[in-house]
Copies of this chain bind each other. A is one copy, B any other.
Amino acid sequence: MKDVALRAGVTKQTVSNVVNKRPVVSPDTVARVEKAVAELGFRSNLLARGLATGQTMIVGLVVPTLTSAFYAEMVEQIENALDGEGYNLVVGTTYGDQDRTRRKLEGLRQRSIDGLLLADDGNVGGQLEIVRETGLPFVLCAWENEIPEDTTVVTFDYEKAGYLAGRQLRQLGHRQVGVVGDLPAHQRRLDGLRRGLGREPAAIVASRESSQRGGYNAAATLLAGAAEVTAIMATHDLLALGVLEAAKQHGRRVPDDLSLVSIDDIEASGQAHPPVTTVAFPIERLAQEATSRLLRAVGTGRRRSGVTTLPPKLVVRASTARSARR
């Protein structure tokens, strides 16, 4: 910057004014400075600027994992939203581990990042103290557990997701419905299902693993013990893919002999055979809302708490049909 100033025959300060497009410099000088900038290939050092202004243009994001279609999509969308505002993203994964979460948070705090985005991992909630101590603005994202006091959160209506799934089955005439679920994590989805169904599920099997294999095993158990079910709801798509396999294995054709509905709408669900009817969460909107709220807090310095709940949407595909038994 000094070099640029020298070359343009002005002061560092004037260079700064030009670079930051502050309209206080004569067109003449601007031109001279810009020429020098171009010739020297000068780019301002964000680090130094950050130190001087207290704004680093970096946002931290803490997620349980990246190797889950849902979080991967979320991180990607957040990076996009941030990119549009000139911000960079530093990510940390917690694996739902207390110590790791604490370490990540402590690490980020030293980075002088401008704000923090936290995804629910059923654990980070317990570490909120650390976040609060930093005084950093933060937004809770996709929070499925109980929502902490005095926080800004952008999340989905998980209960409604369950409701939409249940209502769909009900409208198709299903009375005996089985549930394969990631429980108790997805308790709200289950509550919603009950409401949509207008009755208790005939059987509920909690999956041990939050994976396709887990869904397969749980569905196998369920179908063996409750053969009367005409439909199954999975509390998320990965489980549903396993349920689909298990159903085929048990000689139940989907959707003729068994309807399947799920929640999440990961890409694989739409590409399964048959494609799975599921409930989609507007992840892109979440990313936009969360970042815009965070950046607003960064800009104003004000911390307005409040919960934004985004509505899920039913995506009807071929895995659901009218119940044969009426």
State the A residues within 8 Å of B (CB).
41, 43-48, 50-51, 56, 58, 65-67, 69, 72-73, 75-76, 79-80, 83, 86, 88-93, 103-104, 106-112, 133, 211-213, 216, 241-242, 245, 248-249, 267-268, 270-273
Interface majority SS on A: helix, strand, loop or mixed? Answer: helix
Contacts of A111 in B (CB 8 A): 46-47, 88
Verify A47–B43 contact, CB threshold 8 A: no
Verify A47–B45 contact, CB threshold 8 A: no
Contacts of A47 in B (CB 8 A): 47, 50-51, 56, 111-112
Question: A259 to chain B: closest CB distance in Å?
Answer: 19
Copies of this chain in its oligomeric complex: 2
Question: A76 to chain B: closest CB distance in Å?
Answer: 4
Verify A216–B271 contact, CB threshold 8 A: yes
What are 9 of the A-B contact pairs (CB < 8 Å)? A46-B110, A47-B47, A48-B51, A67-B267, A79-B92, A89-B91, A91-B91, A212-B272, A213-B271
Across the interface, name the chain B residue whose C-beta is closest to A92. Answer: B79
Verify B72–A110 contact, CB threshold 8 A: no
Contacts of A109 in B (CB 8 A): 43
Question: A106 to chain B: closest CB distance in Å?
Answer: 8
Contacts of A45 in B (CB 8 A): 110, 112
Verify B79–A110 contact, CB threshold 8 A: no
Contacts of A271 in B (CB 8 A): 211-213, 216, 242
Question: A56 to chain B: closest CB distance in Å?
Answer: 6
What are the 3 tightest A-B residue pairs by CB atom distance, in nearest-first order?
A212-B271, A47-B112, A66-B76
Q: How far is the CA of A241 from the CA of B248 in the complex (A)?
A: 16
Across the interface, name the chain B residue whose C-beta is closest to A58. Answer: B90
Contacts of A248 in B (CB 8 A): 273
Contacts of A69 in B (CB 8 A): 67
Contacts of A67 in B (CB 8 A): 69, 72-73, 76, 267
Question: A67 to chain B: closest CB distance in Å?
Answer: 5
Q: How far is the CA of A67 from the CA of B78 in the complex (A)?
A: 13
Across the interface, name the chain B residue whose C-beta is closest to A213. Answer: B271
| A91/B107 contact (C-beta < 8 A), A73-B67, A212-B268 known | no
Contacts of A212 in B (CB 8 A): 268, 271-272
Contacts of A249 in B (CB 8 A): 273
Contacts of A80 in B (CB 8 A): 93
Verify B90–A90 contact, CB threshold 8 A: yes
Verify A79–B91 contact, CB threshold 8 A: yes
Known: A67-B73, A86-B107. 7 other contacts (CB 8 A): A47-B112, A65-B76, A66-B75, A67-B72, A88-B90, A248-B273, A268-B268
